[in-house]
Amino acid sequence: MAADWTHTNDSSGGQAEDKAFFDKPKNVRLVMRGFYFGCAVVVILDIVNLVQHLIGAHELRHAEHPLENLPEFYVLYGFVGVALLVVISKGLRKILMRPEDYYDR
């Protein structure tokens, strides 16, 4: 069955084919700029929310949990949460990681 899984590893293909979308640094920069712009927008929305709160106008967000009243709570929680997650997991490798054939030996 495995033989049927067609797999052509063509080493000369790299030169023959046109440069793909993400092979051009310009396109990568474009996508990343779009992403950073999105990040900036959601940060600013919380500032708008805070200003509206201070001037007593109708707020964007109705908090269900006291922490949600903290400006940029979700921004901070998402960033710090994932940064910690990855760093801790990387550390866990020291304890948990074994060679690929560990159980086969």
Position 56 contacts other proteins (CB under 8 A): no
State the number of binding residues for other proteins (CB under 8 A): 61
Instruction: Show the binding pattern over residues 4-33: x = contacts other proteins (CB under 8 A), - = does not.
Output: xxxxxxxx-xx--x--xxxx--------x-
Residues 38, 44: Cα–Cα separation, whole Å? 10
Position 77 contacts other proteins (CB under 8 A): yes
Position 47 contacts other proteins (CB under 8 A): no
Buried b (16+ CB within 10 A) or exposed e, 34-64: eeeeeeeeeeeebeebbeeeeeeeeeeeeee
Residues contacting residue 46 through CB under 8 Å, at least 6 positions apart: 71, 72, 74, 75
> Could you tell me the smallest distance in angstroms from the CB atom of residue 94 to other proteins?
10
CA-CA distances (angstroms) from residue 67 to 62, 77, 80? 12, 10, 15
> Which positions touch other proteins (CB under 8 A)?
1-2, 4-11, 13-14, 17, 20-23, 32, 35, 38-39, 42-43, 45-46, 49, 60-62, 64-65, 67-68, 72, 74-83, 85-90, 92-93, 95-100, 102-104
